[in-house]
Amino acid sequence: QVQLVESGGGLVQPGWSLRLSCAASGSIFNVYVMGWYRQAPGKQRELVAAISSGSGSTNYADSVKGRFTISRDNAENTVYLQMNSLKPEDTAVYYCNAKKSGDRNSRYRPYDYWGQGTQVTVSS
């Protein structure tokens, strides 16, 4: 089992910045990717950014490229999301996600673990 705890959300004005943190604990062995998803009211949950636990390679949604940066601290098992130039469209609940390699019990589908979410509201 993997436990994920997010922090850093809040209410900010357009153009401001926030830094989200996700601390992972438990059976983190074999976690190969961590990322951030978000879900706005009335919309589907979408991938915002992801980072490989091995190589550190990153991927971003087109809507946040150039504004958001995902990073990690391997020593503390923590992943961060630096959000700059925030827009009202960024308002959502942000969820931390971790994936572990699947096995026979999961029919080789990756295991997904989720944090409880942290609210980000961008409003003037």
pLDDT value, residue 25 = 95
Encoded tokens for 94:
């942000």
Encoded tokens for 82:
């630096």
Q: What is the pLDDT of residues 50-95, one digit of tens each?
A: 999 889 999 999 999 999 999 999 888 899 999 999 999 999 999 9
> Which one-letter amino acid corresponds to residue 70?
I
CA 19, 25, 26: angle at the middle one, nearest 5?
160
Which residues, other chains included, contact 106 with Cβ-Cβ below 8 Å and sequence gap of 6+? none
pLDDT value, residue 122 = 98
In which band, very low, low, confident or very high, does the pLDDT at 119 lie, cut at 50, 70 and 90? Answer: very high
DSSP state of 64: T
Sign of the CA dihedral with 44 first, then 46, 105, and 22 last: negative
Q: What is the pLDDT of residues 71-82, one digit of tens each?
A: 999 888 899 999
Sign of the CA dihedral with 24 first, then 38, 81, and 117 last: negative
Asked if the model's pLDDT at residue 30 lies above 90, the reply is no
